A and B are shown apart, each in its own frame.
Chain A
């Protein structure tokens, strides 16, 4: 099963390089977002672009990964629609191999997106304030969260009728999660009702963990870096506990 999953992961990576749209998602898009937020909004939000890049870059990484992790449902749905899954199913491979192949492929995509954003950030003035192993932990935290969240997308991908519907539903979920957080502005500047949501939004804790791990600062008062990371770990466990069984149930029903 591991070999089959790797072969299928290679498929999704090959496709990414062959398909400009998907490749842009993980390379050009985070760069555009960084340029947009840092150079256009940076001065207004933080007083200078230099200050804002330190604040926004961790958020931009999380945002990019959030959107990337939800494409798995769209891709699986397209594969089923186009009959590619029927081809796989007619082969003597494990039923779960196409699913795990897709997840493995996504981890590679995430790594590319993170690397691109960090390197580009460093070029335009992002300074790493922490030891290298903090950066490594930051990458692990965000990928772990993405892999936990992708089961939501898999579930939607298995239940929705068309890949367009999967895309629509996924956006409805990702938007409040990504923008209703401290991605682009400190939570303290938000209206009180929104602060309530931001405080319980797991994405906020992912972003604060990233900030703490990359720049040494946290924005949400009363929580240490360790506290933020523990929040993320709990969120991952809850997401996986609920959505992994549901997603694999829906997958087995369909496959």
Chain B
């Protein structure tokens, strides 16, 4: 397999702030790389460089073998871009937006219209095609953004936080569309703040913070590294806490913790733990008000990888964190 995206030692400064401090990325053709990190970690900067919107201060990057600095125009024929930036025009209809982009990609008006209709149908926007984009709901906007980036049938697609701010049902819709792209053989670079999203979509995950890569692994490997899934139990009555704790010790991989006064959390090896715990709770006749299995949050990922929580870091380093956010915005 050949690399669709290859970046070596990317560095980018904004004034005194180092947004990227030597990033290496490789995405094989037809694969999905998830870039995971908090706000201001450098995710967007990396995508902007790979999409030819920014020049790196140091380092090199190629997309489909083309240099992003010296062959920028050829790179732009290869890529599609969706995200927080690279927006559609709110004062045009969905159809007008897509036709315009098609024409700018050298399609004839007829071809552009045909391609636009095709994408609008595919993304379930046919009915809204004649409405101004500013009247679209959040989910429809994302779908229009996504279809706008697919008009030229790009081989490489960048998705910058494609589901941030969407409710879970809309998020699942976007995920399904991304899976369709993957089945069509598109190479995808996806940035996200959610391990769950990277886990659901990516073949490999790169975790970045402060413009540096702090981990790179498969979703399985990363979950192993950061403690996989967590089982949370909220008892109906606080007096049951000690009994539940005893029970969780048996099925968890570590000591149970108390993230809230009435909530017990324990890392578990896999999903089967849930069944065992339910059975055990039933056998002991303990009533619980909440029982859930979840992937670690970004905070927990960072805690496991770096040994510091983001909050502590923000205290030490509040001013830098702010400038980093400013630079990424």
Residues on A close to B: CB < 8 A? 3-4, 7-8, 10-11, 14-15, 18-19, 82-84, 86-93
The answer to whether B86 and A83 touch across the interface, beta carbons within 8 angstroms, is yes
Please, what's the 1-or-0 string for B124-165, where 1 marks a CB less than 8 Å from any CB in chain A?
000000001000000000000000110000000000000000
Q: Which residue of B lies closest to A89 (CB)?
A: B53
Question: Known contacts A83-B84, A86-B86, A92-B76: does B52 contact A18 (CB below 8 Å)?
Answer: no
Residues of B contacting A: mostly:
mixed
**A89: which B residues are within 8 A, CB to CB?**
52-53
In the complex, are the beta carbons of B92 and A86 less than 8 A apart? no
Shortest distance in angstroms between A227's beta carbon and chain B's nearest beta carbon? Answer: 43
How far in angstroms is the closest Cβ of chain A from B120? 17
19 further contact pairs, Cβ within 8 A, besides A83-B87, A90-B52: A7-B103, A10-B100, A11-B89, A11-B92, A14-B92, A14-B96, A15-B92, A18-B92, A82-B87, A82-B90, A83-B86, A84-B89, A87-B81, A87-B148, A90-B79, A90-B149, A92-B74, A92-B105, A93-B104
Q: Does B88 contact A (CB under 8 A)?
A: yes
A90 and B132 in contact, given A11-B89, A18-B91 (Cβ under 8 angstroms) = no
B74 CB to nearest chain A CB (Å):
8
Q: Interface SS of chain A: helix, strand, loop or mixed?
A: helix
B91 touching A15 by the CB < 8 A rule?
Answer: yes
The minimal Cβ–Cβ distance linking A138 to chain B, given in whole angstroms, is 32
**Is B85's beta carbon under 8 Å from chain A?**
yes
Q: Taking each of B84, B86, B93, which has the highest tally of chain A beta carbons within 10 Å of its own beta carbon?
A: B86
By size class, the interface of chain B is 20 to 34
CA of A14 to CA of B148, assembled, Å? 18
Q: Could you write out 18 A-B pairs with CB less than 8 Å apart?
A: A4-B104, A7-B100, A7-B103, A11-B89, A15-B91, A15-B92, A82-B87, A82-B90, A84-B87, A84-B89, A86-B48, A86-B85, A86-B87, A88-B104, A90-B53, A91-B76, A92-B76, A92-B77
User: With the chains together, A205 CA to B105 CA distance in Å?
Assistant: 44
Chain B residues numbered 34-59 whose CB sits less than 8 Å from any CB in chain A: 48, 51-53
Instruction: Assess the A84–B88 pair: CB atoms within 8 A.
Output: yes
Closest chain-A Cβ to B77's Cβ sits at a distance in Å of: 5
Question: Chain A residues near B106 (CB, 8 Å)?
Answer: 92
**Cβ of A90 and Cβ of B104 under 8 Å apart?**
no
Residue among A3, A7, A10, A90 making CB contact with B81, cutoff 8 Å: A90
Q: Are B105 and A91 in contact (CB under 8 A)?
A: yes
Q: Which residues of B contact A93 (CB under 8 A)?
A: 104
Considering the complex, which residues of chain B in the window 69-86 have a beta carbon less than 8 Å from any beta carbon of chain A? 73-74, 76-77, 79-81, 84-86
CA distance A90 to B92 in the complex (A): 19
A2 to chain B, nearest CB (A): 13
> Quick one: which of B51, B84, B100 contacts A90, CB cutoff 8 A?
B51
B72 (CB) vs chain A CBs: closest residue: A92
Contacts between the two chains (Cβ within 8 Å), count: 67
How far is it, in angstroms, between the C-alpha of A8 and the C-alpha of B89 when the chains are bound?
12
Chain A CB within 8 A of B101 CB: yes
Task: Say which residue of A4, A15, A86 sits within 8 Å of B89 (CB atoms).
Answer: A15
Please, which residues of chain A bring their CB within 8 A of the CB of B91?
15, 18-19
* A86 neighbours in B (Cβ, 8 Å): 48, 53, 81, 85-87
Q: Which residues of A contact B105 (CB under 8 A)?
A: 91-92
Q: Which residues of A contact B96 (CB under 8 A)?
A: 11, 14
Residues of A within 8 A of B79 (CB): 90
Q: Which residues of A contact B81 (CB under 8 A)?
A: 86-87, 90
B149 surroundings in chain A (CB, below 8 A): 90
A90 to B81, CA, bound (A): 7
Query: Once the chains are docked, how many angstroms separate the CA of A4 from the CA of B88?
Result: 17
* Centre residue among A3, A4, A11, A87 by max chain B CB count within 10 A: A87
Among A7, A10, A18, A90, the residue within 8 A (CB) of B76 is A90
Task: Report A247 CB to chain B, min CB distance, Å.
Answer: 21
| Cα(A131)–Cα(B292), bound, Å | 85
Q: Using Cβ atoms and an 8 Å threshold, which residues of chain B touch A92?
A: 73-74, 76-77, 105-106
Of B77, B81, B91, B106, most buried by chain A (CB within 10 Å of CB) is B91
**B44 vs chain A, min Cβ distance (A):** 11
Partner of B104, one of A7, A15, A84: A7
State the 5 A-B residue pairs at the shortest beta-carbon distance, nearest first.
Answer: A83-B87, A92-B76, A83-B85, A90-B81, A86-B86
**Chain A nearest CB, measured from B144 CB (Å):** 11
Q: When A11-B92, A92-B77 are in contact, do A87 and B103 touch as well, CB less than 8 Å?
A: no
Chain A residue, CB-CB nearest to B80: A90
Nearest neighbor of B89 in chain A, beta-carbon distance:
A84
Contact between chains at B92 and A87 (CB < 8 Å): no
Determine how close the nearest CB of chain B comes to the CB of A8; give it in whole angstroms.
8
- Complex Cα distance A3/B103, Å? 9
Digitize B207-250: 1 where CB-to-A-CB distance is under 8 Å, 0 elsewhere.
00000000000000000000000000000000000000000000
Which chain A residues lie closer than 8 Å to B148 at the CB level?
Answer: 87
- Find the B residue at minimum CB distance from A92: B76
Alpha-carbon distance A15/B76, docked complex (angstroms): 26
Q: Is the Cβ of B73 less than 8 Å from the Cβ of A87?
A: no
The smallest beta-carbon distance between B297 and chain A, in angstroms, is: 28
* Cα of A82 to Cα of B211 in the assembled complex, Å: 25
Residues of B within 8 A of A82 (CB): 87, 89-90
